[in-house]
């Protein structure tokens, strides 16, 4: 019984590589972006609660204002997917776009590539009805 309990805890426990700091760049369906964050609190057997900020520059399109978007979000990350080396994350925050504050939700996956580097894929939806999906490189420490 002790071996079964130990195996279950190791399978579903968060990864040992939970991040204290992270940052990365993304290419999205409608923008180029960068993000950075830090851990606030480890959540036992789940992941890490953190704060993340970002900046995005929309792709130029005819008739679209050329602006820079800023975001800040609370994020629950380093959610270990059992029996894989993949981590999931979910975020909720606000986006400052053209002097307007818009709430958003984001979710995604992070796949380790080499040492502290990983591939990040994510999707975001905001209350203005905008959807965004993208991929990028993330470093975490």
Residues 107-134 pLDDT 10s: 999 999 998 999 999 999 999 898 999 9
Q: Is the pLDDT of residue 11 over 90?
A: no
Return d(Cα 132, Cα 85) in angstroms, integer: 25
Do the Cβ atoms of 31 and 69 come closer than 8 Å?
A: yes
Integer Cα distance of 75 and 58 in angstroms: 23
Angle 130-56-62 (CA atoms, 0-180°, nearest 5)? Answer: 65
**Would you say the C-alpha torsion 22, 47, 108, 128 has a positive or negative sign?**
negative
pLDDT given for residue 131 in this prediction: 93
Q: Which has more pLDDT, 138 or 99?
A: 138
Fold of 20-140: Porin (2.40.160)
Distance CA 45, CA 58 (A): 37
Name the pTM for this structure. Answer: 0.81
């Amino acid at each position: 019984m002790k071996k079964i309990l130990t195996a279950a805890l190791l399978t579903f426990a968060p990864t040992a590589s939970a991040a204290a700091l992270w940052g990365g760049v993304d290419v999205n369906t409608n923008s180029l972006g960068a993000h950075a964050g830090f851990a606030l609190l480890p959540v036992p057997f789940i992941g890490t609660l953190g704060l993340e900020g970002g900046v995005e520059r929309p792709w130029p399109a005819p008739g679209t204002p050329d602006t820079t978007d800023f975001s800040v979000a609370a994020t629950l990350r380093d959610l270990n997917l059992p029996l894989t080396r993949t981590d999931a994350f979910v975020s909720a925050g606000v986006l400052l776009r053209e002097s307007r504050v818009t709430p958003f939700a984001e979710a995604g996956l992070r796949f380790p590539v080499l040492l502290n580097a990983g591939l990040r894929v994510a999707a975001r939806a905001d209350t203005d009805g905008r959807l965004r999906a993208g991929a990028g490189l993330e470093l975490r420490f």
